[in-house]
Structure 1
C-alpha cells in the first residue's frame, strides 16, 4: 500500500480486483446479448456464471471500504463527496438508457424503453443495468443513516435479507406471494448486496488485514474451496442449507478474488492494466452497452451461418469492442470537456442547491472510488 494525496492508504488489490470484476461483467453482458441475437453462448454463460456470484458482492464491499470518509461525516460531506455525483449520473443516464432500449429492443427486458413513465419509475425501483448505480446510491444513503454505532445489529439484519435472496428461488417467491420480487431481477439484486457494502464500510480494517497472507498459496486454497462449495450448493435442495452453503462459498470466493487481485498487483504491468480498468469502472459500466447493444441488434438482423459456428469467440469480440469503445468514448468526452456525462457540472443552479443542502468540506479528501478516479 502507498499513500494517496488524500492521505489514505492505497490498496492496489482493490483496483485490480475491480478491473477483473468489470471485465467479467462486460463478458457476461456480451454473452447474454449475443445469445439474445440468436448465437448460442451456453459455454460462455456457464463459465461466467461460475464466477459472477462473487463479482458483485466483492465490488459493493470494496465500494463500502472506500466510502468511510463520507459515511462517517456530516450530511454536507456525504452530499458533496458521494450522493450528489450518483444522483447526477442517474439524472443523465436514465434517459440515455431508456432511449437505448427504445431504439434497440432487448430480449432480456423487452418492455424497457417502451413507456415514458419508466423515466420516472427508474428513480423508485432499480431498472435495467442502472440498477447498480441505483443500489450504490441507496446503500450509501442507508449506511450513512445507520452509521457504525450498532454495526453488529445492522449486519445481522442485512445478512438475513442476503440469506433470503440466496435461498429463495422465483418459485418460492411466487409461492409466498412476493410476485414483484419473483418478476424483478434488478430488485432482487438490489436487496442482495447491501450486506456486503455495509460490511466493507464497517470492517474495512479487518478486510485489509485479511489480505496480508501469502498471496499465491492463499489464492489456490480459496479458489479450490470456492469451487468445491459451489458444486455442493448445486446439489443441496433445502432453502436454509442451500443459502448457508452459497453464503460461505461466496465469502471464500471473495477472499480468493482479493488474493487474485493481490497476485495481479505484484507485477507492474498487470497492476497497471487491471488497475486502470478498475479506476474506470463507472464509465465502462455506463458506456459499454452503447456499443454492445447496436452491434448485437445488427447481428440479430444479419443472422450469419458463419458466425453461428464461432462459439464463444463472438461474445469475446463483442465484449472487447464494448470495452475498447468505452475507453475511447470516455477519453474523448473528457478531452472535449464533456465531463457532465459522468460528473456534476459547476452551474449556478447547482451552487444554490448545494447552499441549501450544505457547504462542501474545506479540504475534500481524495478517493479511490471509481466516481472520482474516472477523471
Structure 2
C-alpha cells in the first residue's frame, strides 16, 4: 500500500471506533443536498421549458458536486482495503449491489406504466434488464462505487502516483462512449482515488481550517469568486481547468464542513450527511411527485421557487420515507437483511444500514 495510505490508516485508527468525523458528515450533507437540488432544478426546468434563479446555484456547484462525493467515499478506504476478499466484497460490493437492485426495481415500478404507454411491456422488461448493465437514472453513483472499490484493491500494489496520473489523464481526456459506467469511471475515478491516496492531507486541511477560521473564510470567499467567474464564462468545462476546479471545490467543501462543525451550525446538514445514501436512494419519489403537483396546479408561478420547493421536498420526503419504512417494518428498503451477507459480521445487528 502507498505510504500515505498507511499513514491515513494509522491516524484514523486512533479515533474511537464508534465516533463519526463531524466535518465529513457536514460535507456529505452539503453534497447530497446539491445532488437533490441538481435533479430537482433541471427536472422542473425541463418540464416547464424555462429556467429560474436556482439554475445559477446548480451551475455553480457543477464543478465540484460529484468530485467531493467521490473523494469522501474513498477517504477511509485505507482502513479496510487489506481485508480478505470475501469481507471486502461483502462490505464494498454486495452492500451497494443489494440497494441498487432494490431501488432500481422500485423506480421501475413507478415508471413502468409510462414507459409501457410509449413502447410496450416487453420493451419495459428489456429496459429493466438493461439497467443492470447501464445504470438507471439517479442510481449510477452506487452502481459505480463498487467498481471503484474493486479497482483500487486490485491495483493497491502498483505505484500509486502512476495510477493517479492515469486517472487524472482519463478525467482530462473527456472520454465519451455513451456508456455511463465507462464515461463516469474515467471522469470520477481520480477523485475517489485521491480520497484514498491523500487522506492525510485532507485531514490536515480540515485541521488547519478549524485552527484558523478567519483565514479559511477568506480562502472560501476567493474560491467562490473564482469558481463563479469561470462557470459564468464557460471556462469551467475546459480541460485541466475542470480538474483543478474539481479539487478546489473539494477543498472548499471540506473547509466549509469543518467550519460548520466547529461552530455547530446547520446541524440538519450534518444529519443529512449521516444519512446521505438514504436520501440518495429515496429522493426521486417525493421530488417527482412535488414537481408534478406544483407544475400542474400552477399554485407557484415562479420557476425558481418551484425548483426550491421541489428540492426541499426531495430531501425531507426521502427522510420521511425512511422513517416510515422503519415504523412499518419495511427496514429492508434501507438496511441489508441477514440473508444478503456473504461474510460474517463483528456485531449482532441483523441488518446493515445503507450507510
Which one of 257, 261, 265 corresponds to residue 261 of structure 2?
A: 265
Per-residue deviation, 1:103: 4.2
1:152 corresponds to which residue? 161
1:6 corresponds to which residue? 17
1:191 corresponds to which residue? 186
> CA deviation digits over 1:122-172, x for unaligned, max 9?
22223311111111121112112112542111111111111122xxxxxxx
Pick closer, same or farther for the CA change 1:336–1:269 going to 2, 3 Å. farther
> CA deviation digits over 1:290-346, x for unaligned, max 9?
11113323445x263x53x32311111112112111111101212333221123211
Q: How does 1:199-238 map to 2 (within 5 A)?
A: 199-213=194-208, 214-228=212-226, 231-232=229-230, 235=233
Q: Does 1:327 align with 2:313?
A: no
Per-residue deviation, 1:223: 4.3
Q: Determine the C-alpha separation between the residues in 2 that align with 1:102 and 1:76.
A: 36
Q: How does 1:243-258 map to 2 (within 5 A)?
A: 243-258=239-254
Which one of 34, 50, 60 corresponds to residue 60 of structure 2?
A: 50
Pick closer, same or farther for the CA change 1:229–1:44 going to 2, 3 Å. closer
Q: Does 1:360 align with 2:352?
A: no
TM-score, length of structure 2 as denominator length: 0.83
Q: Contact 2:335 / 2:354 at 8 angstroms: preserved in 1?
A: no
Per-residue deviation, 1:269: 4.5
Q: Determine the C-alpha separation between the residues in 2 that align with 1:217 and 1:372.
A: 41
2:146 corresponds to which residue? 137
Residue 65 of structure 1 aligns to a residue whose secondary structure is coil
Pick closer, same or farther for the CA change 1:91–1:129 going to 2, 3 Å. same
Q: Contact 1:222 / 1:255 at 8 angstroms: preserved in 2?
A: no
Pick closer, same or farther for the CA change 1:237–1:196 going to 2, 3 Å. closer
Structure 1 gaps, min length 5: 166-172
Aligned-residue RMSD, C-alpha: 3.2
2:96 corresponds to which residue? 86
Q: Determine the C-alpha separation between the residues in 2 that align with 1:287 and 1:238.
A: 30
Q: Contact 2:63 / 2:245 at 8 angstroms: preserved in 1?
A: no
Q: Determine the C-alpha separation between the residues in 2 that align with 1:339 and 1:299.
A: 30
Q: Determine the C-alpha separation between the residues in 2 that align with 1:3 and 1:373.
A: 24
TM-score, length of structure 1 as denominator length: 0.79
Q: Does 1:345 align with 2:337?
A: yes
Aligned length: 336
